[in-house]
Chains A and B, each alone.
Chain A
Amino acid sequence: MTVNIGYGALVLTFIVSLYAIGAAIYGERNKKPRWVDSARNAMVLIFPLLTISAGALILLLVNNDFQVEYVASVTSRSMPTYLRVTALWGGQPGSLLFWSWLMAGFASAVTLRKWDRDREFLPWVIVVTLATLVFFLLLVVFYENPFVRMWQTPVGSVLTQIFQPTGSIPYVPGDGRGLNPLLRHPGMIIHPPLLYLGFVAFVIPFAFAIAALITGRTDDRWIRITRRWTLWAWLFLSLGLILGGRWAYDVLGWGGYWAWDPVEISALLPWLAATPFLHSVMIQEKRGMLKHWNMLLIIFTYDLMIFGTFLTRSGVLSSVHSFAQSAIGPLFFAFIGVTLIVSLYLLSRRWDELKAEAQFTSWLSRESLFMINNLLFVGILVVCFWGMIFPLISEIFTGQKVTVGPVFYENATGPLWLALLFLMGVAPLSAWRASTAKSLGRNLWKPAVISFLVPIILLLTGMISMAAILTFWMGAFVFSVTLYEFYKGAMARHKRAGENFFVALWTLMGRNRRRYGGYIIHLGVIFMAVGIIGLEVFQTETQGSLALGESLELGPYTMVYTSLSEFDTDDNRNVARAVVEVYEGDEFLTELYPRKDFFYESQQPMTIPGVRSTMEDDFYVIMADWKPITTKNATFKVYHNPLVNWLWVGSIIFILGTFVAAWPEKEDSPKRAKKSVSASEKV
């Protein structure tokens, strides 16, 4: 019954979506607004309908309905309820349904906004949004149906079909295979949904962009409408990427957070297109420039998002994440091709109408510096894309399969990231239209002088890595510039309005959320950069096989292996848990418990590190192997990861900044800076 309801709602959503697309086009072409309204109503329905479908699948998962193939493949009796709910995105069919459900949420939400001022966009927003949804529903309904059940025929073979074949009886396995143990981690439970949220939310700005291209309303209205959508999408995507890294650090036990794996990169690609977009739309709003560029960026963000979903969901590239090999690859490829060609065709038709209203006049103007920022981001995007598809290209042209490793990405993107970091310090201080080196210097010299203390101190303490010194110096530079901006702004208010300094700071941020939210994000990025350099440049590791009581030294720390216990748990695991004491010199710091869990159901072990984490460094211990009965000897692999916590703290600041920027503002001030912004207005 639940299966029928879930599947029925799914098919109904598919039909309603198709109807809405048809009605929107028909109503728009024949000037019959009632048809467009009908399409709009249909689009509102999408989310409740898919909620029924997803709810039905969750119910099946929670109730251990193992006749449903998907339920049997991702859950088992011993799993706690919350994990069974999250098994909704534990496998391919479920996660495609989940993706569609989230997408439907955004689709229904966008129809509920006030459309009075931009009714001409409505039919096309419906068409673009639902065409995307229909594609995913098509995959779910016809190729990767999570509601498929298993049936036993009289001859004894098991068939998988949605409806009962004649003469067969339901086949219900005694237990399911259970969710992959590696995925049973809080980071992994929220990482995919956030990534998906980020992905699907970008459909909305894309839909408005396409609507603008079709209707010819090519001013910056579409950007203003979607500004907040874009920021939220970007927030979710950033959060998804960060949590993925944290999961890798906690669970995969190689002491890192990012392996430049193709699937990781494919999730980063839309972010690399969206981040310059967030910056360059400001130039279109203020100066009426870069209109083609913004269209291109949002089109590429959208298609890279689909491409990212495709890579995680196919098996084109060998990867840590490479999920089931599946037949839906060619369909994804076709969809990406069609949407890209149609979008670019629409853009070419409006090319002349999108001419810039102004020209670049000075290299040091804010628009030029933003343009450089855009080129650098796109440069990183091209590097990553190249690295990812290089094996495919090389195979096509030379027949020889080749690949490039993490070193490629580190070498090729490192200087570009560094240049971006530097720009983060300079660009916010430049003026629109034109800045002179003199005015820029006047704003920059104080923070610059202060920041030079950092490399001097580092050199005196004997640091030799140039990459680290350069990054730390730039971090200090951007940090002091940004704080100085906050200080100047608040002081100006304090003097003018006589407000208390902190009240002034608060109102300042409240009045201009996007600007100060952006600054907070920049501060977060500096912290993250420090953490990344800490791990990339200063990570050390050692390993050794120890008898009870023996010790291992790494960096300033000594670890002593004191005991080992082995036991079974209620949820079908065998746990081997070592106790390790950590000392710094003679001082006892803490006990760590690196362990190895063995999951009986899936016959798979899982290594959980013991970590002592401070702002200064992480001491990360993995138990690689042990001899249970005879000697209790165990083998440990130990990492010393300096400063890595700065990465996570920076991430939190980064996310908070995005919240500040994305939070709805009371008043919208669509004034374009026709004149160059004077110094007093700028602060």
Chain B
Amino acid sequence: METATEMEPTSPGRSKFLIGGLLIVAAVVFLIWNSTQSSIQYYLTVDELHERGGDWIGKDVRVAGAVIGDSINYDSETLELSFKIVHIPADVEKEGGLAKALHEAVTDPSRHFLNVVYVGALPDLMQHEAQAIVTGQVDDLGNFTADELLLKCPTRYEEAVSEEAST
């Protein structure tokens, strides 16, 4: 089989392993870099979307806002769900928590809003004053088509329950 003498760590032997290891590291770095580029989503508030609306057309964006109950419209034939979300600040902690921020948002008629269309099952938590996080694209008329819809309802529970739906 093999002799029991230790092989001397010769420098070409070592660099062989060093290069191999570096190749794996390089592969991981490449995978991260490449995948980040291709799957980046911009996280915006409704206000930011309004300010620079044109910049975001066609890009994958993610917007959080408070759902206006009266605007929820669900067509169970086409499964088309449309609703309005109004601006909530990016950092709700400063505003005294999510529940408070959402309540202030739906009671303030002066805020910017966004029309969202989503096709799919009506999520259980789709209701007035819920926080909707929608991912999708905005068109040149400012209408938002969501591929993914995430809802949170901090008002019902101490622990915000949330739910994810996606197509």
B17 touches which of A368, A434, A674 (Cβ 8 Å) = A368
**Known contacts A602-B156, A622-B121, A637-B121: does B79 contact A382 (CB below 8 Å)?**
no
B41 touches which of A91, A322, A372, A402 (Cβ 8 Å) = A402
**Known contacts A323-B159, A402-B43, A404-B40: does B35 contact A433 (CB below 8 Å)?**
no
CB distance from A681 to the nearest CB of B (A): 10
Question: What are the residues of chain A within 8 A of B148 when measuring CB–CB?
Answer: 405
A511 within 8 Å of B (CB atoms): no
The reply to whether B39 and A411 contact each other, CB–CB distance below 8 Å, is yes
**Known contacts A363-B20, A624-B79: does B34 contact A602 (CB below 8 Å)?**
no
A162 within 8 Å of B (CB atoms): no
Identify the closest chain A residue to B17 (Cβ): A360
Question: What are the residues of chain B within 8 A of A215 when measuring CB–CB?
Answer: none
CB distance from A397 to the nearest CB of B (A): 14
Q: How many residues of B contact A (CB 8 A)?
A: 62
Question: What are the residues of chain B within 8 A of A543 when measuring CB–CB?
Answer: 79, 120-121
A-B contact count (CB 8 A): 174
CB distance from B17 to the nearest CB of A (A): 5
The reply to whether A403 and B32 contact each other, CB–CB distance below 8 Å, is no
A5 within 8 Å of B (CB atoms): no
CA of A470 to CA of B97, assembled, Å = 48
The reply to whether A363 and B16 contact each other, CB–CB distance below 8 Å, is yes
CA of A168 to CA of B92, assembled, Å = 34
B98 within 8 Å of A (CB atoms): yes
Question: What are the residues of chain A within 8 A of B27 when measuring CB–CB?
Answer: 379, 415
The reply to whether B36 and A404 contact each other, CB–CB distance below 8 Å, is yes
The reply to whether A633 and B76 contact each other, CB–CB distance below 8 Å, is yes
Question: What are the residues of chain B within 8 A of A679 when measuring CB–CB?
Answer: 1
Q: How many residues of A contact B (CB 8 A)?
A: 74
The reply to whether A259 and B164 contact each other, CB–CB distance below 8 Å, is yes
B133 within 8 Å of A (CB atoms): yes
CA of A177 to CA of B161, assembled, Å = 13
A361 within 8 Å of B (CB atoms): yes
Identify the closest chain A residue to B31 (Cβ): A412
B57 within 8 Å of A (CB atoms): no
Question: What are the residues of chain B within 8 A of A675 when measuring CB–CB?
Answer: 1-2, 4
The reply to whether A376 and B31 contact each other, CB–CB distance below 8 Å, is no
CA of A413 to CA of B35, assembled, Å = 10
B109 within 8 Å of A (CB atoms): no
Identify the closest chain A residue to B2 (Cβ): A676
Identify the closest chain B residue to A182 (Cβ): B161
SS class of chain A's interface: helix, strand, loop or mixed? mixed
A627 within 8 Å of B (CB atoms): yes
In the complex, identify which listed stretch (B6-14, B65-73, B110-118, B138-146) lies at the interface while the others stay far away: B6-14
The reply to whether A627 and B76 contact each other, CB–CB distance below 8 Å, is yes
The reply to whether B135 and A405 contact each other, CB–CB distance below 8 Å, is yes
A residues 342-401 with Cβ under 8 Å of B? 358-361, 363, 368, 371-372, 375-376, 379, 382-383, 386-387, 390-391, 400-401
The reply to whether B121 and A320 contact each other, CB–CB distance below 8 Å, is no
**Known contacts A254-B166, A603-B156: does B122 contact A411 (CB below 8 Å)?**
no
A482 within 8 Å of B (CB atoms): no
The reply to whether A545 and B166 contact each other, CB–CB distance below 8 Å, is no
Question: What are the residues of chain B within 8 A of A261 when measuring CB–CB?
Answer: 164
The reply to whether A403 and B24 contact each other, CB–CB distance below 8 Å, is no
CB distance from B117 to the nearest CB of A (A): 15
The reply to whether A383 and B28 contact each other, CB–CB distance below 8 Å, is yes
In the complex, identify which listed stretch (A31-39, A549-557, A604-612, A640-648) lies at the interface while the others stay far away: A604-612
B160 touches which of A323, A376, A627 (Cβ 8 Å) = A323
The winner among B17, B25, B157 for most chain A CB atoms within 10 A is B157
The reply to whether A325 and B98 contact each other, CB–CB distance below 8 Å, is yes
The reply to whether A252 and B159 contact each other, CB–CB distance below 8 Å, is no
A678 touches which of B1, B78, B98 (Cβ 8 Å) = B1
The reply to whether A180 and B40 contact each other, CB–CB distance below 8 Å, is no
**Known contacts A358-B6, A675-B4: does B121 contact A604 (CB below 8 Å)?**
no
B74 within 8 Å of A (CB atoms): yes
Identify the closest chain A residue to B152 (Cβ): A322
B104 within 8 Å of A (CB atoms): no
CA of A177 to CA of B148, assembled, Å = 30
CB distance from B166 to the nearest CB of A (A): 6
A111 within 8 Å of B (CB atoms): no
Question: What are the residues of chain A within 8 A of B6 when measuring CB–CB?
Answer: 358-359
CA of A383 to CA of B30, assembled, Å = 11
The reply to whether B43 and A415 contact each other, CB–CB distance below 8 Å, is no
The reply to whether A391 and B31 contact each other, CB–CB distance below 8 Å, is no
CB distance from A88 to the nearest CB of B (A): 14
CA of A627 to CA of B90, assembled, Å = 38
B residues 25-67 with Cβ under 8 Å of A? 25, 27-28, 31-32, 34-36, 38-44, 60, 62, 64
A656 within 8 Å of B (CB atoms): no
A266 within 8 Å of B (CB atoms): no
CA of A543 to CA of B165, assembled, Å = 14
The reply to whether A405 and B161 contact each other, CB–CB distance below 8 Å, is no
CA of A232 to CA of B158, assembled, Å = 34
B121 touches which of A319, A391, A635 (Cβ 8 Å) = A635
B77 within 8 Å of A (CB atoms): yes
CA of A359 to CA of B1, assembled, Å = 19
A500 within 8 Å of B (CB atoms): no
Question: What are the residues of chain A within 8 A of B13 when measuring CB–CB?
Answer: 359-361
Q: A177-B158, A545-B76 are in contact. List 15 more A-B contacts (CB 8 A).
A: A320-B164, A322-B160, A324-B158, A324-B159, A324-B160, A358-B6, A363-B20, A408-B39, A412-B36, A434-B2, A604-B124, A605-B124, A607-B121, A624-B79, A675-B4
- Chain B interface (Cβ within 8 Å of chain A)? 1-2, 4, 6-7, 9, 13-14, 16-17, 20-21, 24-25, 27-28, 31-32, 34-36, 38-44, 60, 62, 64, 74, 76-79, 90, 93, 97-98, 120-122, 124-125, 133, 135, 148, 150, 152-153, 156-166
